């Protein structure tokens, strides 16, 4: 019996040692594209407040590629809540009607980082303010391994230097110029009536500083008659 116990103990020790060795040999998880992005520092949230025009978006979204000729002029209004979170109202047209989509960006652990929660943990979107200037902002959105970059301006037209900076930042996270799309500079909505307002918490509808990643139709959105912004 003593010999058997000794053999069992020796087997357990060898198994534990092998597991520790395997853990040491296991390569670290690859760094996500968003982890390589340095947020704007210092950042005053009041730099983000007010009205912005969606100028451009870099994304590998298939829907964008197939419907880039149908992009709608989009504006967002940002309000700083409690000094930490952001209330976002996105205005855009659908079937010639103006819609307002409301969302709430929660502060994340690091400055310049926000979180857009969905109904499921897997549907959360991480947001990073890459650059904030009085005349433009560049935002990054990531869900899972999918990332997009968006450019907003205080006016619908920005300088070539700002566009170059936006495209350079897109390339830095693996998004080439062939997946960069620019939005119309006319036909904007300034408001929506009470029958055309949606809460972004409903299946993550709407943009919130623009669509987190990609504009696509879902079953829920089709029932409501509005596009659901999802990350794909």
For the stretch 139-152, pLDDT in tens is 999 988 889 999 99
Distance (Å, whole) CA 48 – CA 219: 33
Strand partners, 78: 50, 88
Question: Which of the pair, 40 or 227, is modelled with greater confidence?
Answer: 40
Once rounded to an integer, what is the mean pLDDT over residues 168-177? 95
- CA contacts within 13 A on the Cβ side of 213: 22
Residue ranges and CATH numbers for the domains of the chain are: 38-230 (2.40.128.20)
Q: pTM value?
A: 0.76
Contact present, 60 and 169 (Cβ < 8 Å): no
Distance (Å, whole) CA 86 – CA 127: 12
Both tokens of 226, joined, read: 């509005």
Residue 12: what pLDDT? 54
Contact present, 57 and 211 (Cβ < 8 Å): yes
């Amino acid at each position: 019996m003593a010999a058997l116990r000794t053999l069992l103990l020796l087997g357990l020790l060898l198994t534990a040692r092998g597991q520790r060795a395997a853990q040491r040999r296991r390569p670290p998880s690859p760094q996500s594209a968003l982890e390589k992005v340095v947020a704007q520092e210092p950042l005053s949230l009041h730099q983000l407040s007010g009205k912005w025009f969606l100028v451009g978006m870099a994304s590998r979204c298939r829907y964008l590629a197939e419907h880039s000729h149908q992009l709608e002029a989009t504006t967002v209004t940002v309000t700083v809540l409690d000094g930490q979170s952001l209330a976002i109202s996105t205005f855009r047209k659908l079937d010639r009607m103006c819609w307002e989509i409301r969302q709430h960006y929660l502060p994340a652990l690091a400055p310049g980082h926000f979180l857009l929660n969905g109904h499921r943990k897997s549907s959360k979107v991480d947001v990073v303010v890459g650059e904030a200037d009085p005349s433009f902002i560049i935002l990054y959105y990531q869900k899972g391994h999918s990332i997009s970059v968006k450019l907003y301006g205080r006016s619908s037209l920005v300088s070539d230097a700002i566009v170059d900076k936006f495209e350079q930042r897109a390339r830095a996270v693996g998004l080439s110029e062939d997946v960069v799309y620019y939005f119309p500079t006319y036909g904007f909505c300034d408001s929506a009536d009470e029958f055309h307002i949606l809460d972004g918490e409903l299946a993550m509808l709407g943009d919130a500083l623009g669509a987190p990643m990609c504009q696509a139709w879902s079953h829920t959105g089709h029932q409501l008659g509005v596009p659901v912004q999802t990350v794909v």
